[in-house]
Amino acid sequence: MKSESEIIDVKTLPFTANFIWATGFMMQRFIEELASRKILGVKCPGCGYTYVPPRSRCGKCYAKIEEENLVTLSGKGTLVSYTTGHVALDGQGNFIDLQEPAIIGAIKLEDADSTIFMPIEGIEPRDVVEGLKVELQWREETKGELEDIRCFKPA
């Protein structure tokens, strides 16, 4: 019986599931305003915590956040944490080696309380330090898409 309970590899057939995640009204405003090179956040009317990207409910004081609470932030900020990646995922369960290491930073924009995670370019990995002043880099033509934000570079 031993041979029958042996475990074998099962050959797979191709199947990929596709998703279209709705972003909601606040995130839509954020994405749309990228076209005019603006970064939108919200200042919670209850506790004053400033979120970027904007959202409609405060996770700190539970207040409802409305459109009138939207604020415009500068593209300047401070690196609060970072990591360096040497491999990426190919979406098929495999790793790909990166030719150049990629730096991902947690950035706190001026006047914001939350952080955003973005690629950091224009600096050698060994030179990156917490507290580094960074600035947002737009792609050449902004269209109101998340890809409008290309990366951050040292200011």
Partner 1 sequence: MGFIKDERPQTICVEGTWSLSSYHYKGSKLLEQYVKGLKQKKLIGSFCPGCAKVILPPRNLCGRCHRIMDGRKTVSDRGTITCYTVSPAITKGKLKVLGMDPVETGLIKDGEILIPVFVRFDGSDSNTDTILLNAEPKAVHIGMRVKVIWAKEPQGALSDFEGVEPI
Partner 2 sequence: MKRNAAIIGCGQTKHSSKRRDVNVAEMVSEAVYNALEDAQVSMREVDAFIVGNMPGFGGIAQPEQWLGDWIGAAGKPVIRIATGGTTGGSVGQGAYYPVASGLHDVVVAVAWEKHSDSKEAGATSGLLHVGLGNLFHAASYGLNLKNLMAMSMVGAAAGVAVYQAVFYMHRSGCTIEHFDMVAAKARRNAARNKYAHLQWPGCTPEDIAETELLAYPFRYGHICPASDGASAIVVAEENLARKKARRPAWYKGLASYSDEENQLQSENFGGVGVLDPSEQRGCWVSAMKAYAMAGIKDPQKEIDMAELYQPFPSQELIFAERLGLFDEGTAWMALEKGETDINGRMPLDPSGGVNATNAIGSSAMQRILECALQIMGKAEEHQVPKKVSNAVAHGWGGVTNYSTVTVLGDSPGR
| Contacting residues toward partner 1, per CB under 8 A | 1, 3-10, 12-25, 27-28, 31-32, 91-94, 146
Shortest distance, position 80 Cβ to partner 1, whole Å: 25
Return the structure tokens found at 123.
């600096």
Confirm or reject binding of residue 57 to partner 2 (CB under 8 A): yes
Measured in whole angstroms, the distance separating CA 73 from the mean position of its chain's CA atoms is 16
- Of partner 1, partner 2, none, which one sits near residue 93, judging by CB under 5 to 8 A according to partner kind? partner 1
| Closest of 84, 96, 76, 90 to residue 127, by C-alpha | 84
Shortest distance, position 151 Cβ to partner 2, whole Å: 24
Return the structure tokens found at 122.
């224009």
Shortest distance, position 105 Cβ to partner 1, whole Å: 21
Q: State the Cα–Cα distance between residues 55 and 20, nearest whole angstrom.
A: 19
Confirm or reject binding of residue 3 to partner 2 (CB under 8 A): no
Return the structure tokens found at 42.
């919200």
Q: Closer to partner 2 by CB, 21 or 126: give it.
A: 21
Q: Which residues contact 121 (CB under 8 A, 6 or more apart)?
A: 103, 137, 151, 152, 153
Site string for partner 2, 58-87 (x = CB under 8 A): -xx-x-x-----------------------
